[in-house]
């Protein structure tokens, strides 16, 4: 009997060992198969997550960024203790004890889930979550869980706990395009991660479980409950005291206000993006964390933005009222007091232009609703429409645009003026003539509506703004400012130029011809120097657009970009030297290694003596010509207006001793702006507003070579006669 029992037990042991060996071998085989295609975790030392590329202004301010994943990488030391405690308390209480897998945590989570009848707690460690984020897909399968566990063990063997926690805090998705806790702290609270409070750290630590479901922006009540749960976990883990925890839970969730889109220089930044992607590739720009140090000046750009927007609005108002955008009653909206417009979701500030709803209108005024605010629109607030009463132009239920002049938050009242969205477009470019740096660039009225950059991409005829290049060529050949020319009818075969006003002034000086922008003297000047000689000369100013060989080019019958024109005009105040325009000072990689550094690229364009004479001549339009409005600046400025046939394009190109700026106004479709909308009327006011703001606190800056004691404005070239010879006329006929 005893022998039979021993044989039976021996058989059981044999069977057990057999099954154990098979199971062990199978497990080893499975682990070998699953481990064979796992990545090597020791490569994490050189791992770099996708990082934001940032663009800096000339003073170091961030003005733009490019990223597929908005992430700010921080070190372990930069993470506040409150955030470390919150993350560990919520996600992995045994983080510092386990070796990648927390069997106790798995058992505890399983028991809680069983008791709750649903998944209320996960058993994955921070290391497992990190391995999934780094190497694996979100797929839910037995194979993936095994790989996740094996990777976690490898990570724990190769890296310290602080290194693992830091990687976790830099990688995770936290909603609304934010990756990592530093980016999330900036986005949700407008704070540096090191400045987070207990309740803020708890809210962020609660997000990784389900960023979309616990978003404090989309679901504030869920976020509050999840935050308080995180605080309770911190108390339970003795990371904060019960008193501190209760105080933190009583504080409301306070998020940084999401202001209206107010990008400083979207056209400028977009121009940089195209250049960078072409040179370094899309991946480097959107994931590599480049540091782009640009030439843009923040204050000048703000001045340019304000000047162009105001100028285009002023132009549009001169064309009259076009009517309300839509009528809600016609769209069958019943209650005008409860409907919410999309634009009202963002804070409303003074000087914002926002849509409002007309609640009531009569002969004296109209009641306007803008979000929670009410306004009374009086006759003086619609004066530009030429309407005698609001009832003439507005109806109950109309949705129109209004500028908020002032606000009274206590009474929920605002003062407004009627606005409308301009259909006209414009552009402004400002360049430092000494080094070619583009200090400001605006490529249109609204970047969100149109990404087309009219400063760099639009080819438009320049009108009389092109004349200075012709006169410069003539000065180089001996023309003097006080030489005379006959402003009288002239015929060049089939071409008979005329003046803007239809009159002829007879014999006048070159100074007056430029000041009054007389067309016939300009055409005669081009004919006297010859088209074959003039075109190469003009190219020296940096005009790269095609110039057709015919006489009307003297009047700007050539398509040129605004940035070309602005750069070309910078030759005059820079003593004849052209500096190639540039938007970048240098580009560095993530490790601060310099990838490129752009230094000023100088080109000799025209003699210094010629440039100085042209600066003198280009002050004539300001002194007594088409740009006399610029005298209100009370400082030395020079420039030239430009207006094309049928008023399709309006220009003003002008400069001080240290800044050259150009303005263009027109419709994209090349249709007339309207009678009388010349460069002096449509473009010059924008230029004036810009220059006035830029120099508002600065002393007058004379042109250096016009100071007392400077060399006389003379040229060594022999005098040039502007008498039109038959041979030149014949050549002109052939070129036409």
What are the residues whose beta carbons fall under 8 Å from the beta carbon of 308, sequence distance 6 or more?
426, 427, 428, 442, 445, 663, 686, 690
Q: Decide: residue 310, CB within 10 A, 0-12 exposed, 13-18 middle, 19+ buried.
A: middle
Alpha-carbon span 584 to 582, nearest angstrom: 6
Q: How far is CA 698 from the centre of its chain?
A: 28
Q: For the chain, what percentages of helix, strand and coil (3-state, to nearest 5) are there?
A: 45, 15, 40
How many C-beta atoms surround the C-beta of residue 48 within 10 A? 13
| 91 among known catalytic residues | yes
> What is the biggest distance separating any 2 CA atoms in the chain, rounded to whole angstroms?
143
CB 481 within 8 A of CB 588: no
CB 308 within 8 A of CB 686: yes
Measured N-to-C along each axis, helices 126-135 and 161-171 cross at an angle, to the nearest 10 degrees, of 50
Residue ranges of E strands in 421-539: 425-431, 438-442, 460-461, 484-487, 506-509
From 629, 625, 616, 638, select the one nearest 688 (Cα to Cα): 629
How many C-beta atoms surround the C-beta of residue 365 within 10 A? 18
CB 289 within 8 A of CB 590: yes
What are the residues whose beta carbons fall under 8 Å from the beta carbon of 304, sequence distance 6 or more?
428, 430, 440, 441, 442, 690
Alpha-carbon span 522 to 617, nearest angstrom: 14
Q: Decide: residue 662, CB within 10 A, 0-12 exposed, 13-18 middle, 19+ buried.
A: buried
From 648, 718, 656, 721, select the one nearest 691 (Cα to Cα): 656
What are the residues whose beta carbons fall under 8 Å from the beta carbon of 362, sequence distance 6 or more?
389, 390, 391
Alpha-carbon span 681 to 311, nearest angstrom: 10
Candidate list 131, 152, 464, 570, residue with the active-site label: 464
Alpha-carbon span 380 to 388, nearest angstrom: 9
Pairing of strands 365-370, 438-442: unpaired
Candidate list 91, 156, 199, 271, residue with the active-site label: 91
Alpha-carbon span 420 to 404, nearest angstrom: 13
CB 384 within 8 A of CB 390: no
Q: How many CA atoms lie within 13 A of 708 on its CB side?
A: 0
Q: Decide: residue 416, CB within 10 A, 0-12 exposed, 13-18 middle, 19+ buried.
A: buried
Q: How many CA atoms lie within 13 A of 340 on its CB side?
A: 5
Backbone torsions φ then ψ of 70, nearest 5 degrees = -75, 110
Alpha-carbon span 266 to 398, nearest angstrom: 32
Residues annotated catalytic, as ranges: 91, 464
């Amino acid at each position: 009997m005893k022998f039979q029992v021993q044989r039976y037990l021996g058989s059981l042991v044999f069977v057990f060992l057999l099954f154990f060996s098979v199971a062990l071998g199978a497990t080893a085989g499975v682990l070998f198969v699953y481990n064979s295609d796992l990545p090597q975790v020791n490569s994490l030392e050189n791992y770099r997550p996708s990082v934001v590329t940032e663009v800096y202004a000339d003073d170091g301010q961030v003005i733009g960024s490019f990223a597929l994943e908005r992430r700010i990488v921080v070190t372990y030391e930069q993470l506040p203790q409150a955030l470390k405690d919150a993350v560990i308390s919520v996600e992995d209480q045994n983080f510092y004890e386990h070796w990648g897998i927390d069997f106790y945590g798995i058992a505890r989570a399983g028991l809680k889930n069983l008791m709750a009848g649903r998944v209320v707690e996960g058993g994955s460690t921070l290391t497992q979550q990190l391995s999934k984020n780094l190497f694996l897909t979100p797929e839910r399968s037995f194979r993936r869980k095994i790989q996740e566990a094996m990777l976690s063990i490898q990570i724990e063997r190769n890296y310290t706990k602080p290194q693992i926690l830091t990687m976790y805090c830099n990688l995770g998705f936290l909603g609304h395009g934010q990756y990592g806790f530093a980016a999330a702290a900036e986005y949700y609270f407008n704070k540096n991660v090191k400045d987070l409070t207990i309740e803020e750290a708890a809210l962020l630590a609660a997000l990784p479980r389900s960023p979309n479901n616990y978003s404090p922006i989309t679901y504030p009540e869920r976020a509050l409950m999840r935050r308080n749960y995180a605080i309770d976990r911190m108390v339970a883990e003795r990371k904060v005291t019960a008193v501190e925890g209760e105080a933190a839970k009583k504080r409301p969730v306070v998020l940084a206000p999401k202001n209206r889109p107010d990008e400083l220089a979207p056209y400028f930044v977009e121009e940089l993006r195209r250049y960078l992607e072409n040179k370094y590739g899309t991946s480097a720009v959107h994931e590599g964390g480049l540091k782009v140090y640009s030439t843009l000046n923040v204050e000048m750009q703000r001045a340019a933005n304000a000047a162009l927007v105001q100028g285009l609005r002023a132009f549009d108002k001169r064309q009259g009222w076009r009517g309300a955008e839509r009528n809600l009653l016609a769209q069958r909206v019943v209650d005008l007091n409860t409907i919410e417009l999309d634009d009202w979701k963002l804070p409303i500030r003074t000087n914002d232009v926002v849509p409002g709803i007309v609640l009531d209108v009569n002969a004296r005024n109209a009641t306007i609703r803008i979000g929670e605010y009410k306004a009374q629109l009086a006759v003086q607030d619609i004066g530009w429409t030429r309407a005698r009463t609001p009832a003439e132009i507005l109806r109950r239920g109309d949705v129109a645009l209004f500028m908020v002049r002032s606000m009274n938050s206590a009474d929920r009242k605002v003062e407004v003026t009627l606005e409308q969205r301009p259909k006209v477009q414009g552009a402004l470019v400002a360049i430092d003539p000494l080094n070619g740096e583009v200090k400001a660039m605006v490529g249109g009225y609204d970047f969100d509506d149109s990404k087309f950059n009219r400063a760099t991409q639009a080819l438009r005829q320049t009108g009389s703004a092109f004349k200075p290049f012709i006169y410069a060529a003539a000065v180089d050949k001996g023309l003097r400012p006080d030489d005379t020319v006959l402003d009288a009818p002239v015929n060049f075969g089939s071409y008979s130029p005329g003046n803007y006003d239809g009159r002829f002034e007879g014999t006048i000086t070159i100074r007056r011809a430029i000041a009054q922008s007389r067309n016939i003297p300009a055409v005669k000047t081009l004919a006297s120097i010859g088209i074959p000689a003039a075109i190469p000369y003009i190219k020296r100013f940096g005009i790269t657009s095609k110039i057709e060989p015919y006489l009307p080019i003297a009047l700007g019958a050539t398509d040129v970009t605004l940035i070309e024109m602005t750069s070309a005009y910078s030759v005059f105040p820079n003593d004849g030297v052209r500096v190639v325009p540039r938007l970048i000072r240098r580009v560095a990689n993530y490790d601060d290694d310099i990838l490129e550094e752009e230094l000023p690229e100088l080109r000799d364009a025209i003699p210094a003596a010629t440039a100085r004479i042209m600066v003198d001549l280009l002050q004539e339009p300001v002194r007594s010509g088409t740009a006399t409005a610029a005298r209100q600046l009370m400082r030395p400025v020079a420039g030239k207006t430009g207006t094309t046939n049928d008023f399709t394009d309006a220009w003003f190109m002008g400069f001080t001793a240290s800044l050259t700026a150009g303005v263009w106004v027109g419709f994209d479709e090349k249709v007339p702006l309207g009678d009388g909308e010349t460069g002096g009327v449509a473009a010059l006011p924008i230029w004036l507003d810009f220059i006035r703001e830029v120099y508002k606190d600065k002393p007058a800056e004379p042109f250096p070579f016009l100071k007392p004691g400077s060399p006389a404005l003379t040229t060594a070239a022999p005098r040039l006669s502007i008498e039109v010879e038959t041979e030149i006329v014949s050549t002109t006929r052939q070129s036409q």
